[in-house]
Amino acid sequence: MADLIVSPQELRRRVAAWRREGQTLGFVPTMGALHEGHLSLVRQARTECKRVVVSVFVNPSQFGPGEDFSRYPRTLEEDRRLCDPLADVVFTPTVEAMYPSAQEVWVEPGPSARGLCGAFRPGHFRGVLTVVAKLFHMVDPDITYFGSKDYQQGVLVKQMVRQLGFPLEVRLCPTVREPDGLAMSSRNRYLSPAQRAQALCLIRGLRAAERLALGGGRPEVGALKAAVAAEVAKVPEAKVDYIEIVHPESLEPLTGAMRGEALAALAVRIGTTRLIDNLLLRTA
């Protein structure tokens, strides 16, 4: 079984011992309720690094009022089992260890946090970057692994690492999907069987845009958006937060005819569950 470490000091001692032996360290930060999407990151870390740490921490500062912090699934024993034998350590710090006093100093994201989820979850990415920075200091990895499922988060973490000079590499790994295309997410377990079927409208919409992009010519961004929206609209229970076509690096909304690559991204609420997904579009 992967060792469970709660104390940051103990983690530092463990990492220092690995470092003395010249071993490389991969780090996968998570909020737990692990699934194959998380495990794909852990597997990738395993192939590139001698040692692997997975953190499981439901970070209060990235949830807004009325969001699902208190009901977020917490399945630590199962998480630990799933990490075996891929991870050396599962690090599960307490809220008190991560936030020993009221947080006054934050990592404030730049303009790439303004749109997409940032527009609907004020303070969310500030909370994410701040906890990720703390975790990077505690774990001190060579390489860290994030999922493209949370694409905006991945872009912002890369910017933070580059602009604040963290001595590590960030890998953005592909989204793992269920066989029917639904992006795996810890929040999928909130869905009833009927809602689980409705949730397929996200990937159907993205694939409709993908077909249009690949269909020849340079489709208008408005038409790509409309293709996504038409699929989502087939499910009356699905309430759209946003459907956007953005530049894959700056995350600025695109206009006019599509050129090169574009990211199609959306957030949809089904009942009380908020789901996100995205797909990188290319013209043929």
Distance, in Å, from the CA atom of 64 to the CA atom of 57, rounded to the nearest integer, reads: 16
Q: Is 124 in the site for ligand AMP (CB under 6 A)?
A: no
How many chain residues are in contact with ligand AMP, going by CB under 6 A?
17
Q: Is 205 in the site for ligand AMP (CB under 6 A)?
A: no
Q: Is 185 in the site for ligand AMP (CB under 6 A)?
A: yes
Tokens representing residue 174 in the block: 């592909």
CB of 238 to ligand AMP, least distance (A): 19
User: Which of 26, 115, 141, 147: binder of ligand AMP (CB under 6 A)?
Assistant: 147
CB of 143 to ligand AMP, least distance (A): 13
Q: Is 152 in the site for ligand AMP (CB under 6 A)?
A: no
Q: Which residues pair with 26 in a beta bridge?
A: 52, 143
Within residues 2-31, the interface with ligand AMP by CB under 6 A covers 30-31
The angle that helices 201-214 and 221-233 make with each other, rounded to 10 degrees, is 150
Of 35, 38, 124, 137, the active-site residue reads 38
- Other Cβ atoms less than 10 A from the Cβ of 283: the count is 17
CB of 76 to ligand AMP, least distance (A): 13
Q: Is 175 in the site for ligand AMP (CB under 6 A)?
A: yes
User: Which of 25, 49, 143, 176: binder of ligand AMP (CB under 6 A)?
Assistant: 176
Q: Is 184 in the site for ligand AMP (CB under 6 A)?
A: yes
User: Which of 186, 195, 198, 273: binder of ligand AMP (CB under 6 A)?
Assistant: 186
Within residues 35-54, the interface with ligand AMP by CB under 6 A covers 37-38, 40-41
Q: Between 67 and 233, whose beta carbon lies closer to ligand AMP?
A: 67
Nearest Cα to Cα of residue 155 among 265, 62, 19: 265
Residue type, 117: C
Nearest Cα to Cα of residue 136 among 120, 158, 113, 111: 158
Q: Between 134 and 149, whose beta carbon lies closer to ligand AMP?
A: 149
Are 112 and 251 contacting, i.e. CB atoms less than 8 angstroms apart?
yes
Closest residue to ligand AMP, judged by C-beta, is 147
Q: Is 80 in the site for ligand AMP (CB under 6 A)?
A: no
Does 124 participate in catalysis according to the annotation? no
Q: Is 141 in the site for ligand AMP (CB under 6 A)?
A: no
The set of catalytic residues is: 38
Residues contributing to the site for ligand AMP (CB under 6 A): 30-31, 37-38, 40-41, 146-147, 149-150, 173, 175-176, 183-186
